[in-house]
Amino acid sequence: MARASQGTTALLLFLLQTLALIQFSHAGGIAIYWGQNGNEGTLTETCATGRYSYVNIAFLNKFGNGQTPEINLAGHCNPAANTCTVVSNGIRSCQSRGIKVLLSIGGGVGSYSLASPSDAKNVADYLWNNFLGGKSTSRPLGDAVLDGIDFDIELGSNKYWEVLARNLNAYSKAGKPVYLTAAPQCPFPDSFLGSALNTGLFDYVWVQFYNNPPCQYSSSAGVNNLLSSWNRWTTSIKAGRIFLGLPAAPAAAGSGYIPPNVLTSQILPVIQKSPKYGGVMLWSKYFDDRTGYSSTIIQSV
């Protein structure tokens, strides 16, 4: 009887572990954009909340086409005066908590484009030497090594972003990958990043399901347009994980805000069935502070 009891106990433990793994496989993370408002707390404080798994530092919004690259962190610091190197302390603090920290390039305001494949290679080399594992005397954020690069391309030309992705990926090494992420708009395919996403090199893709009425939630149209678009994205591109990109407050976007109760009851239970589901991306830390959106949804993500 003792042996039978031990066997039963072992089987029960195995089943419980298996169930836990199944549940964990659906657990997603929250990605946040930080950097575009000086009143959103430091990077260290952002990661200390325990709410975020990924932080995109926004933005390097001037680069390519022979320009001297410039980073813009709004009211946080002044790169021209070299006061942004202190951000290295925040980067290391976040990484010590297991949070991936990436530099977001592009954004809705700026001057950026890639003039040629060689220009794309030059930008990749600049990013590697100034923000990733390379060496430079002019690292804008100091000597901390970021985990990767986020492509938030919303302006200019759609050319050569796939070349930039391939050149950055070439810097990945065993044990120290260069993570590539992207924030395309929800109309499929994205007009700027379609070719880059087709490379299959992107680890995380946080699709912007806002400011795009045909594929976002609205109180009048409901959830169907968003769910249809989500299905298109998750079945059409080769990427590690896909995230639902949302505004953290009504004021954070022109349209597309989803009340938390609608998200947790009508949307997350559906999209979490996708094996590509990675979680939720929010714009931005400043707006999340105003509403507490991430705190409200985190147990359901």
Active site residues: 154
Judged on CB neighbours under 10 Å (0-12, 13-18, 19+), 49 is middle
Backbone angles phi and psi of 92, in degrees to 5: -65, -40
CA–CA–CA angle 110, 114, 116 (5° rounding): 165
The DSSP letter of residue 49 is: T
User: How much is the CA Rg of the chain, to the nearest whole Å?
Assistant: 20
- Looking up tokens 């007009």 gives 191
Please give the biggest Cα pair distance in the chain: 79
**Which DSSP state fits 264?**
I
Helix (H) or strand (E) holding 124: helix 117-131
State how beta strands 54-63 and 29-34 pair: parallel
Instruction: Label residue 101 exposed, middle or buried (CB < 10 Å: 0-12, 13-18, 19+).
Output: buried
In contact, 294 and 288? CB cutoff 8 Å = yes
β-strand partners of 130 = none
Distance, CA of 224 to CA of 222 (rounded, Å): 6
Instruction: Assign 3-class secondary structure to 283-294.
Output: ECHHHHHHHCHH
| Total residues belonging to the chain | 301
**Residue 180, both tokens:** 């590539």
Q: Which two tokens stand for residue 227?
A: 């769910």
Peptide bond into 63 cis (omega under 30): no
- Residue owning tokens 């989500």: 230
